[in-house]
Structure formats: structure tokens, C-alpha cells
Amino acid sequence: MNPVKVGLLGLGTVGGGTHNVLVRNAAEIARRAGREIVVTHAAAREYSAAGLEGIDRVTVGDDAFAVVNNPEIDIVVELIGGYSPARELVLQAIANGKHVVTANKALIALHGNEIFEAAQRRGVTVAFEAAVAGGVPIIKSLREGLAANHIEWIAGIINGTGNFILTEMKDKGRDFADVLAEAQALGYAEADPTFDVEGIDAAHKLTILASLAFGIPLQFERCYTEGISRIEPQDVTYAEQFGYRIKHLGVTRRTEHGVELRVHPTLIPERRLIANVDGVMNAVLVMGDAVGPTLYYGAGAGSLPTASAVVADIIDVTRTLTTDPENRVPHLAFQPGELSDMPVLPIDDVFTAYYLRMTVEDRPGVLAAVSGILSEHGISIEAMQQKEPAEGAAQVPLVMLTQSVRESQMKAALAQIEALDTVAGAVVRIRVEQLK
């Protein structure tokens, strides 16, 4: 049987790792796939041949469209990232009848509906395991391993940069800006870290997970997104005193009114396994009605971990080359005609508990005023700490945990509390999830 010919778009960190895994493990891969898989063409504007095993046997150019339009190529592997020209390249590959493998979460989150519809019409496969959590096989788990389950909710640490920053703040009491600078020096964060620290990267990934879990179209624009840049060391400390850790979570949950889709800093009980995932590691906790909670943990980025997922997709596609398109695993886990119109809830309609920290005047009646406002809005206090004022200080931190309440109720209560002349500045608010 003839080898399956692969065209690589990109020879950077992930592209180079993918090439090396395919070369280094060629015999094992052929045993698993049933056919030899070889990279015959690649496109890269700039690359270093050093460290790329057997790259001399690959035709490398700078025109990605030449690879996509090459009639010899069976599978196009898109590893250049970003929205454009990745979208145009993938759609052209599909139009040419080629299967596609990509690690591009932004592309799938924003343009996946269009891409999957085109692939369905053309009878080809678009595989994207590496788009979420690097080498952790969470997409395959949701599409196949958990297919018997009614998925209830997913909570994930799906951005290693943010998790590294929060871990350093917890372990060493460091400021956000200080740790971010180190993350950039170590290569964990880009020069412009916005996508990582403001939650956009995690929102791309959560959008994909929600579609796979609940059978809804990809809806990145409806994902509520909040970053970690305003987290202060004192909040990390207070959270630990209450028995919680702060993690930057992506949370999606099915409710009777619709789907929650949100990324934000979150207090979770320190006894939960996911609360103890530190450094740049990723973890995704999935609750299914039949299986219960399952946790998927591993490296969420890096050359070889991500290449592991990319090559696994290439093997999967190779196995299905002779399969009737109607009998392949659907792109978004559910048959295309069975996707649901279940709405994504606005954040104001989401119920969570809250951690609140405010700076108040150290005088009688302040706590009663704050508690009264919360009570008026139907908000119960679960736990509270009022810190001793520093010597000579007229103000003191007041920290509390509330029971679960609708977001809109909390917003209204905080607006009244912040208007009190005994409360200085804005109230710090972080959502709390028990993940039971």
C-alpha cells in the first residue's frame, strides 16, 4: 500500500516537533496506522534545519498554498496559527479534497462552523486534538470515550501561562507583574501576553470543549472572558485561609435554561485534585452522568507534547481514508444535523458563590451596613474575616465568602456597597466553584 503523504504548514516549535516524531517513530506509527506516513512537502518562511531529522528528504518552500494545492498530498497539517491565512489555507485544502489536521484553537473557535460544514460537503476530515490542552487527549475523550454520557459540566485549567503565574503568586507571594516578566523570560508568555493573561486563549479552547460536550455550534463571541491581571497576592493569601486556591478556570455547564460558557479567576477548594495542578500544566475535569467525574492532566503546550496530539490525529485520519464519510466520528461529536440550538447564557444569568474583599472604615456599623445590603439582595454570607488594622490605620480589609447567587443580584449589591462613604474604592470579586 502506498505511503500517506503529508504536507506540513509551519516548521516552528510544533511543526518541527511533529516532523521529528513522524520520522523518529515512523515504524511504530506505521504499525498503528496500517500504512507508512511520510512528510514529503513543507512550507515555512523561516526555519532552522538544525534539529530537524531527515529534513533533507522533504521539499521545503515558503509558499503554503503550493503545498495545499499539490495533488500528491493526502493530509495537510496546519501549524502556522492565527486566523489568516490559516483559514484560507484550510478551506483551500478542503476544496481540494484533502484531509486537514490543525492545532489552531483560534481558527477552530472562530471559523470552525464554516470549516466543518465545508469538510462535511467535501467528505473529508478536519482533526484538531492539539487545539485544546496540548498533548492531553481531551477532545478524543469527549468525542469517543465519553460518548455514552450526558455531560453535565466541564471545568479546566487550559492555559499554562496563567497557571504558572498563579502558582508562583501562591508559592512565593510574588506580584502578578513580577511573575509575568519571568514567564516571558522563560518563553511561557509572549511579548504581548494578552491572549494568555486576559483569558482569550482559554476562551478559544473552552468554546471548542462546550461544543463537543453539549452538541451546540461553536460560539466564541458568547464566551464571558475575564483575566488574571487584577489578582493580588493578598487575595491568594486570603483564599488559602478560607481553604481555597485561585485558579484561572474555563467553566461550561448545561442548565435547564441554557449553557454557561465562562473563563475567569475562580476559588476552588484546596482538596480538589484540580486545585493542586501547578506550574504550566493543564487539567480538565469532566462530569458525566454515567461515569461521574474524570480528570485529564498533562502538558498543555510545548514541541513534543503538542506534536504527540498532532501525530495521533494524522494516524486517525490515515485509518479512516478508506472509510465511508458518513461513518466517521463527527467533527463536533454529534451528527451535523443533530446540533442543538440551546442558548449560551449571558453572565448576568449565571449562579455562583463569591469571594469579596473590600477596604472599609474601622468604625462601628460598617459591617452591619454591608451585611444589610447583601441581605436585601438575597445574598447570604458563608464565611467572613475582618482583619486587624495596621497601626495607626483608619481602614481595614473585610473579606467574605457568599453562598451561590445570580450574577445580576451580586452586581446590584456591589454597586450599593461601593457607594457607601465607609467603603474605599471598588470591591474585589472572584467567583467560587465547589466542583462537586
DSSP for 2-33, please give it: PPEEEEEE--SHHHHHHHHHHHHTHHHHHHHH
Condensed to tens digits (0 to 9), the pLDDT of residues 187-230 reads 899 899 999 999 999 999 999 999 999 999 999 999 999 999 99
Condensed to tens digits (0 to 9), the pLDDT of residues 98-145 reads 999 999 999 999 999 999 999 999 999 999 999 999 999 999 999 999
Q: Check pLDDT > 90 for residue 97.
A: yes
- When pLDDT is cut at 50, 70 and 90, the band that residue 388 belongs to is confident
Average pLDDT for residues 140-154, to the nearest whole number? 97
Residue 151's pLDDT is what? 98
Domains of the chain: 4-135+303-338 (3.40.50.720), 138-299 (3.30.360.10), 351-432 (3.30.70.260)
Helix (H) or strand (E) holding 312: helix 303-319
Residue from 196, 203, 165 nearest 347 by CA: 203
Average pLDDT for residues 391-396, to the nearest whole number? 81
From 98, 105, 170, 205, the catalytic residue: 205
Residue 35's pLDDT is what? 93
Q: Check pLDDT > 90 for residue 329.
A: no
Q: Check pLDDT > 80 for residue 326.
A: no
Residue 321's pLDDT is what? 87
Question: CA 344 to CA 352: how far, in whole Å?
Answer: 16
Residue 81's pLDDT is what? 94
**Preceding peptide of 233 cis, ω within 30°:** no
Cα-to-chain-centroid distance, residue 297: 13
Extract the C-alpha cell encoding 194: 494578552
E strands in 212-364: 224-225, 244-254, 259-269, 281-288, 292-299, 351-361
- Catalytic: 205? yes
E strands in 68-138: 75-78, 99-102, 126-127
Question: Who wins on pLDDT, 348 or 46?
Answer: 348
In degrees and rounded to multiples of 5, residue 51 shows phi and psi of: 90, -5
Share of the chain above pLDDT 90, in %: 89
